C-alpha cells in the first residue's frame, strides 16, 4: 500500500493508492495527519516543488506513524531523460507530467499544468523532457491586477457570460481566462512549428476544467496527470 503526495506552491494533494486525491493547505500538517490515520504501514511517496510544504508532509507522516516520504528525483529516479540546459533545475512536477503524458500518448505531447503558474512541458518523440514555457496562472494574473492597481477589485477565476465583459469583474475574468487560453494556444503552435510535429495536449492542474470548458481545441483533461507520473516513476524504481 502506498500513499502519494504532491507538494505544490499553495496546496498538498494526498492520494492513498487507488483513491481520489484530497487537497490540503501547505501548512495543514494536522489535517493531513488525521487523513492518514488508519493507513499504518503505507509507504509515503512524494514529489515536491515547495520545501516548506515538505516539512508539513514529513510532520503529518510522523504523526500518523508512517515512515519518512520517498521523494521523486532524490530518493528514486523519474526515468525521464531531461534534454534541456541545466537539467537539475527542471521542476519535478513538469518532469512527471511529461512522463505521464508520453505514457498516455506514445507520441510527442505537451502537458499544460494550469495552477498558480501555467507550465507547458513537452515530451519529444522519444519521451524525453524537451523543455517548454512558463507563464502566470489565472488566479495569479487576477491577483496581480488587484494588487498592482488602485481600483481593480479582487476577483475569482470564472467563465463570464460573454467574452465581452460588461462590468469590471466580468472584464477581468474574460481577460484572465481567454488571455491564458490564447497564450497557451500560441505557445503550443510555435513549439509544434519548431519541432515540426503535432503535439497531443493534456490539461492538468486546478484550472484545467475551467480552460478546457472554453477551449475549441481537442485537448485531453487529465486532472491526475502528475500523480500518474509519480506512480509510474515509483513503479519503475521497484522493478
Average pLDDT over residues 187-194: 98
- In the prediction, which pLDDT does 239 show? 87
Residue 9: pLDDT above 90? no
What are the C-alpha distances in Å from 50 to residues 55, 58, 114, 181? Answer: 9, 13, 17, 26
Split at pLDDT 50, 70, 90, the class of 10 is confident
Residues 6+ apart with CB under 8 A from 106: none
- In the prediction, which pLDDT does 142 show? 98
d(CA 165, CA 94): 34
- pLDDT tens for residues 223-239? 999 999 999 999 999 98
Q: Check 27, 58, 75, 93 and give the catalytic one.
A: 93
- pLDDT tens for residues 88-97? 999 999 999 9
What are the C-alpha distances in Å from 107 to residues 7, 122, 132? Answer: 28, 11, 16
In contact, 133 and 91? CB cutoff 8 Å? no
Q: Reply yes or no on whether 207 is catalytic.
A: no
- In the prediction, which pLDDT does 202 show? 98
Strand order across the beta sheet in which 109-114 lies = 129-136, 117-123, 109-114, 200-204, 220-221
- In the prediction, which pLDDT does 40 show? 86
In order of their start, the domains of the chain are 2-71 (3.30.420.40), 87-237 (3.30.420.40)
d(CA 35, CA 117): 27
Which residues are paired to 72 by β-bridges?
Answer: 76
% of the chain residues with pLDDT over 90:
97
Amino acid at each position: 500500500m502506498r500513499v502519494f503526495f504532491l507538494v505544490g506552491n499553495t496546496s498538498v494533494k494526498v492520494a492513498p493508492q487507488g483513491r481520489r486525491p484530497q487537497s490540503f493547505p501547505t501548512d495543514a500538517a494536522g489535517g493531513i495527519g488525521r487523513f492518514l490515520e488508519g493507513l499504518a504501514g503505507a509507504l509515503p511517496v512524494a514529489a515536491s516543488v515547495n520545501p516548506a510544504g515538505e516539512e508539513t508532509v514529513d510532520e503529518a507522516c510522523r504523526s500518523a506513524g508512517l515512515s519518512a516520504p520517498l521523494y521523486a528525483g532524490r530518493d528514486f529516479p523519474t526515468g525521464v531523460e531531461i534534454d534541456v540546459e541545466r537539467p537539475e533545475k527542471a521542476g519535478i512536477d513538469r518532469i512527471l507530467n511529461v512522463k505521464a503524458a508520453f505514457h498516455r500518448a506514445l507520441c510527442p505531447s505537451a502537458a499544460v499544468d494550469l495552477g498558480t503558474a501555467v507550465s507547458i512541458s513537452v515530451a519529444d518523440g522519444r519521451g524525453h523532457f524537451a523543455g517548454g514555457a512558463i507563464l502566470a496562472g489565472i488566479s495569479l494574473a487576477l491577483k496581480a491586477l488587484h494588487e498592482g492597481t488602485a481600483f481593480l477589485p479582487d476577483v475569482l477565476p470564472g467563465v463570464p457570460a460573454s467574452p465581452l465583459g460588461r462590468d469590471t469583474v466580468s472584464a477581468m475574468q474574460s481577460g484572465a481566462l481567454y488571455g491564458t487560453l490564447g497564450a497557451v494556444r500560441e505557445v503550443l503552435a510555435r513549439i509544434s512549428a519548431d519541432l515540426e510535429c503535432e503535439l497531443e495536449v493534456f490539461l492538468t492542474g486546478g484550472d484545467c476544467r475551467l480552460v478546457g470548458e472554453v477551449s475549441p481545441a481537442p485537448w485531453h483533461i487529465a486532472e491526475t496527470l502528475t500523480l500518474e507520473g509519480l506512480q509510474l516513476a515509483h513503479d519503475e524504481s521497484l522493478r
